[in-house]
C-alpha cells in the first residue's frame, strides 16, 4: 500500500470519526436545559400576596404556585414605556398561549386609577385570557413592597408621567420566576432581543422543571 493511499485512508477515518462524534454529542446535549441563574440572596423565593385581577377575583400565591411566571409593572394611563412594554409582553403571551404552566402577572403601580374595571378594559386590548394573563390591582403599599422585596424591581423615572413622585415604581423589567418561586432572570421589556431571550429561557425552564 502506497504512502498516499495510507494517508487518504487515515484522513477518511478521522473525518468519519469526527462526524460520528459530533452527531453523538449533538443528540446527547440538544435536549439538556440551559442552566439559568438564580437571582437574589441565597434561598430567596417570592412570597405570598393578595391582589385582585381584571375579573374582580382575588389572586394569591396559592393560585400561581407551581407555575412559571413572567412579571411586570405598569399603569393603564401611562403614555411612556408601558404601551411598548405590554406590546412586547403580548409576544410572550402569544408564544405560550394556552400553556397552563405559564402565567403572566402585570401589576399596576397606580391602583387609585387602575380599578378592576380599568384593568379589564385595558386587558381587552391584548385579548388577555384572565386565567393566564392577569392584570393585578390592590393596595398600593402591598404592590410596592411586592415589587421591591419579592421581585427585586427598582424604580425608574418616566418624564411622560405628570404625577410621578419619589415613591413611584415604574420599571421596564420583565421578571422570570420558576415554579419554585425563584427569580431566574430579568429582561429589558423594551428590547426585542431580550424579549426573545425571555421566550427562549421560558422554554429552558420548562425542560428544567
| 81/173 Cα distance (integer angstroms) | 11
* Cβ proximity of 55 and 90 under 8 Å: no
Question: pLDDT tens digits for 133-187?
Answer: 999 999 999 999 999 999 998 644 343 443 444 455 668 899 999 999 999 999 9
In 37-169, which ranges are continuous DSSP H helix?
Answer: 61-64, 82-95, 116-124, 140-145
Can you identify the CATH homologous superfamily of domain 50-208?
Glutaredoxin (3.40.30.10)
C-alpha cell at 4: 498516499
Residue 14: which pLDDT band, with cuts at 50, 70 and 90?
low
Residue 47: which pLDDT band, with cuts at 50, 70 and 90?
very high
| 116/181 Cα distance (integer angstroms) | 26
Decide if pLDDT at 207 tops 80.
yes
In 30-75, which ranges are continuous DSSP H helix?
Answer: 61-64
Average pLDDT over residues 51-74: 96
Question: pLDDT tens digits for 89-136?
Answer: 999 999 999 999 999 999 999 999 999 999 999 999 999 999 999 999
Amino acid at each position: 500500500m502506497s504512502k498516499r493511499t495510507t494517508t487518504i485512508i487515515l484522513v477518511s477515518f478521522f473525518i468519519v470519526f469526527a462526524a460520528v462524534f459530533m452527531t453523538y454529542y449533538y443528540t446527547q446535549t440538544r435536549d439538556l436545559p440551559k442552566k439559568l441563574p438564580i437571582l437574589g440572596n441565597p434561598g430567596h423565593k417570592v412570597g405570598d400576596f393578595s391582589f385582585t385581577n381584571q375579573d374582580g377575583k382575588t389572586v394569591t400565591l396559592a393560585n400561581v404556585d407551581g407555575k412559571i411566571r413572567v412579571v411586570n409593572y405598569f399603569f393603564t394611563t401611562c403614555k411612556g414605556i408601558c404601551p411598548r412594554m405590554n406590546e412586547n409582553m403580548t409576544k410572550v403571551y402569544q408564544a405560550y398561549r394556552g400553556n397552563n404552566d405559564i402565567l403572566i402577572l402585570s401589576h399596576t403601580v397606580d391602583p387609585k386609577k387602575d380599578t378592576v374595571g380599568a384593568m379589564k378594559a385595558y386587558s381587552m386590548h391584548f385579548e388577555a385570557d384572565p386565567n393566564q394573563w392577569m392584570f393585578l390591582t390592590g393596595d398600593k403599599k402591598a404592590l410596592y413592597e411586592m415589587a421591591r422585596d419579592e421581585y427585586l424591581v427598582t424604580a425608574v423615572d418616566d418624564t411622560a408621567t405628570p404625577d410621578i413622585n419619589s415613591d413611584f415604581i415604574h420599571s421596564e423589567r420583565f421578571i422570570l420566576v420558576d415554579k419554585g418561586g425563584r427569580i431566574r432572570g430579568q429582561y429589558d421589556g423594551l428590547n426585542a432581543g431580550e424579549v426573545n431571550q425571555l421566550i427562549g429561557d421560558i422554554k429552558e425552564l420548562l425542560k428544567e422543571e
